[in-house]
């Protein structure tokens, strides 16, 4: 059995400095150890898939990351692991527990996953190993994991069994309630704009130093068709993960970070609003382009018509939120968000439909990711307000 401090020290020597995840009792010592270490960053995610997206953003911003979760959450993590990490070739050290291990009494909900944990990890294309059983095995195991991640560009998994890590108490200060944010509303100004028109206006006003993450579907395709820039990342998969990825970038960069989200995607990972509000990066602007439909799949209606995303964002701790339905209102809200600092939400209701001649990104996702990572690595001269 090893201690949490043993793992954290060896992981630090291997360069791992950013942690995120969802708790499991088998992981309690590790999570408590990370939370009790002032030099380490840990983001408690609302779901396992969100944690994978957050870690992906942190990697883009230059961190070496660890995701921790219970194997029951593997189902939530499969989507981003296969449609985000795999195509973009974004590695992370993935620690999952082995609840329901055959022969070890456990709760009934863990029985099925306990039988298939290792098979599922292999099925989605990840290399894996048992969690190192002794302190002297940690260094070589982590070195091998790093070597394989660098060779493949993919996550590498350790499977953590019960009592692999010695108990560790938690030393964590309680969170303070956030200061209430400010809301601004810009009345309708006629017909709702198209997404392409909004993106054209956005391209004209977004700062050159800002990183831009466009959600999956036609948003990223239209952005690429209008202008392909190194500051753009087109999230071709992992629906709902753009906001988590943006959070991971924003927490680890001084650059302004803009997430171009959609109503269907935001609803799928609505818990990320709470995570963004809790960790409150001042450099994050979350733009939600709400056309009320799943545009990429034939225009089926979402439930966003009854949702006030600006109010939700404020309730989750965003510093600023605006609702608008015109290009002029959007520009005013966006400029205000940049001036005041975030996290900021701009909920813009737009018309359904897309460009007639709509292309797809011709730059491969892995190349987009590394181009974006190189862009973020350049020192910024004008960070957003503190």
pLDDT score at 225:
93
pLDDT score at 288:
97
Pairwise CA distance, residues 345 & 286, whole Å: 5
Whole-structure pTM value? 0.95
pLDDT score at 385:
56
Cα-Cα-Cα-Cα dihedral sign, residues 44, 47, 51, 53: negative
Under DSSP, the state recorded for 39 is T
Per-residue pLDDT of the chain (386 residues; tens, 9 = 90+): 899 999 999 999 999 999 999 999 999 999 999 999 888 989 999 999 999 999 999 999 999 999 999 999 999 999 999 999 999 999 999 999 999 999 999 999 999 999 999 999 999 999 999 999 899 999 999 999 999 999 999 999 999 999 999 998 888 777 788 888 999 999 877 889 999 999 999 999 999 999 999 999 899 999 999 999 999 999 988 999 999 999 999 999 999 999 999 999 999 999 999 999 999 999 999 999 998 878 777 778 888 889 999 999 999 999 999 999 999 999 999 999 999 888 999 999 999 887 777 878 899 999 999 999 999 999 887 655 55
pLDDT score at 63:
97
pLDDT score at 148:
98
Q: Output the 3-class SS for 217-232.
A: CHHHHHHHHHCCCCCE
First to last CA, the chain: 44
Judge contact between 141 and 156, C-beta under 8 A.
no
What's the CA dihedral at 92, 32, 241, 70 to 10 degrees?
80
pLDDT score at 304:
83
pLDDT score at 268:
93
What domains, with CATH codes, occur in the chain?
4-160 (3.40.50.970), 182-377 (3.40.50.970)
Pairwise CA distance, residues 334 & 322, whole Å: 9
pLDDT score at 360:
86
pLDDT score at 170:
84
3-state SS class at 165 = strand
Pairwise CA distance, residues 17 & 7, whole Å: 12
In Å, the largest CA–CA distance within the chain is 68
Token pair, residue 315, equals: 């309730």
Phi, psi (deg, nearest 5) at residue 288: -110, 110
């Amino acid at each position: 059995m090893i201690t949490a401090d043993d793992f954290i020290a060896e992981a630090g020597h291997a360069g791992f400095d950013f942690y995120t995840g969802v708790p499991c009792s088998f992981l309690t010592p590790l999570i408590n150890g990370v939370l009790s270490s002032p030099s380490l960053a840990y983001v408690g995610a609302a779901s396992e898939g969100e944690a994978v997206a957050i870690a992906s953003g942190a990697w883009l911003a230059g961190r070496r990351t660890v995701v921790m979760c219970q194997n029951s959450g593997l189902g939530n993590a499969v989507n981003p692991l296969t449609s985000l990490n795999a195509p973009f070739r974004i590695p992370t050290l993935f620690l999952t527990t082995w609840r329901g291990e055959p022969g070890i009494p456990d709760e009934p909900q863990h029985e099925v996953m306990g039988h298939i944990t290792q098979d599922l990890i292999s099925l989605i294309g990840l290399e894996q190993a048992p969690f190192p059983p002794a302190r002297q095995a940690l260094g070589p195991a982590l070195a091998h994991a790093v070597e394989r991640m660098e060779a493949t560009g993919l996550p590498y998994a350790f499977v953590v069994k019960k009592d692999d890590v010695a108990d560790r108490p938690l030393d964590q200060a309680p969170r303070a309630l956030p200061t209430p944010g400010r809301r601004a509303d810009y009345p309708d100004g006629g017909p709702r704009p198209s997404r392409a028109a909004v993106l054209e206006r956005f391209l004209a006003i977004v700062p050159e130093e800002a990183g831009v993450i466009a959600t999956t579907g036609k948003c990223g395709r239209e952005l690429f068709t209008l202008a392909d820039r190194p500051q753009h990342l087109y999230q071709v998969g992992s629906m709902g993960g753009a906001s988590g990825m943006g959070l991971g970038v924003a927490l680890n960069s001084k650059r302004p970070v803009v997430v171009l989200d959609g109503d269907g995607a935001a609803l799928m990972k609505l818990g990320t609003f709470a995570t963004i509000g809790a960790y409150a990066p001042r450099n994050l602007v979350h733009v939600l382009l709400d056309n009320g439909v799943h545009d990429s799949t034939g225009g089926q209606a979402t439930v966003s018509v009854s949702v006030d995303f600006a109010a939700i964002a404020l309730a989750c701790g965003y510093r600023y939120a605006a609702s608008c339905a015109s290009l002029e209102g959007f520009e005013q809200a966006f400029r205000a968000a940049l001036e005041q600092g975030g996290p900021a939400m701009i909920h813009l209701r737009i018309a359904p439909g897309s460009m007639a001649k709509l292309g797809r990104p011709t730059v491969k996702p892995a190349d987009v990711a590394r181009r974006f990572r190189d862009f973020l690595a350049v020192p910024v001269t004008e960070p957003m307000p503190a």
